[in-house]
Structures are given as C-alpha cells and as structure tokens.
Amino acid sequence: MLLRRPFWYLRHGQTDWNAQNLSQGRTDIPLNATGREQAVKAGDSLSRHWRDGAAPIARIVSSPLTRAYDTALAAQGAIAASSGTTLPLSTDRDLEEVCFGVMEGEPMGDWYDPWIAGEFTPEGCETFDGLKTRAAGAVNRALEQDGIPMIVAHGALFRALRAAMSLPINVRLANAVPLYCDPTDNGWVLTAYE
C-alpha cells in the first residue's frame, strides 16, 4: 500500500492541547512556545545529520494545518540557516490529521484503541481504515517525485502510516523528532534523529 522508498517524517511541535492530552484532530490548534522551539531544534538536528552523511531531504510536504505547516516552516528555516539550502515546501490536504468528530477537544481515552481497531467510530469521525488509505496516498504522491521527501504532519496520521508499513500501530510518536523511514529487505526500519 505504501511505496517502498525512503522518506523523512516529522510530527508537528507541541501545542497546548498536546500538553493537556486532548485530541486535536482537524481543530487548527497553533504551536505553543515549546512547539516552536522543538521545530527549530528539529531543523538543526536534520542539518547536523546531513553533514554526518544522513540521507538529504529534497523537499518538504506538509499538512496545511497550522501546527504542522509552522513546524515545516521553522524546520525549513533552520535547515537553510545551517546548510545554505532552502528546501521547496508544499502542502497536501490529505496529510491533515484525522477528523475526530465529537471527540475533538476531549481527552484521549478509552475510545482511541477501539477506533484504531475499527470497533468504534465516534460521531463525525473518520475511520482508521479511511485515514490509512488517505495518508498512504498522500505519502505515495510525495514519493513518486525525485529525491527523498520530508513529510510534516500528525500523530494519528503516522499511526495509519505504521499500519501501511505493517508495523505495530499504536506507538506514540514524539513531537518534532525527525524520523527516517527506510524500507529494508526485512521490512521498514524507523530511525529517530534527535
């Protein structure tokens, strides 16, 4: 379902709702001060790893939601300041976070695991399978172009990508930690760069 080509993934920096363990979904919550610092740090980390021989990024494709797009802009700026390379930045609406419907703004709770398993879908919420199809399609579009893309998006969306990679699904991804996703002969290998 997911093209077997490497890519970078960066979850957006922290928001106030992240800090309060509230489900954000499509609600367009901005980065908080910590999140803005995390985004710059992620860009600095990526620049450092390029100099150490890590796979360079050809372009950035971001969710259009503010928390992801502002993370992408901050990372782009930090990479440019450190490396002298300003990466092209575009958005793809299919990288938006899942719509959690009536659960947006509510604490992450007992409903979340059954939602992933396809056993329960809150009112107005996108199904996990629907999210997986949408997320894989967006990443595949980015992978069809030359070079290695960096996808800047969201936590639940990355769980859907983990499902598309046949990896354990319900693993929490830290805010603004660059992740290199490599499709090896033995399956996908994910490497965090802090």
Q: What sign has the CA pseudo-torsion 81, 148, 151, 45?
A: negative
> Do residues 15 and 29 make contact, with C-beta atoms less than 8 angstroms apart?
yes
Read off the amino acid at residue 158: F
d(CA 131, CA 40): 28
Whether 12 sits among the annotated catalytic residues: the reply is: yes
- DSSP state for residue 89 in the 8-state scheme: E
Please indicate whether residue 97 is annotated as part of the active site: yes
**Structure tokens given for 115:** 């939602």
Alpha helices, DSSP H, located in 52-173: 66-83, 112-117, 128-143, 155-164
Annotated active-site residue in 49, 96, 97, 104: 97
Q: Which helix (H) or strand (E) holds 150?
A: strand 149-153
Closest CA to 70 of 84, 60, 59, 58: 60
Residues contacting 17, CB < 8 A, separation 6+: 23, 24, 27, 29, 105
Nearest to 78 by CA among 28, 150, 18: 150
Q: List, by residue number, the catalytic residues.
A: 12, 97
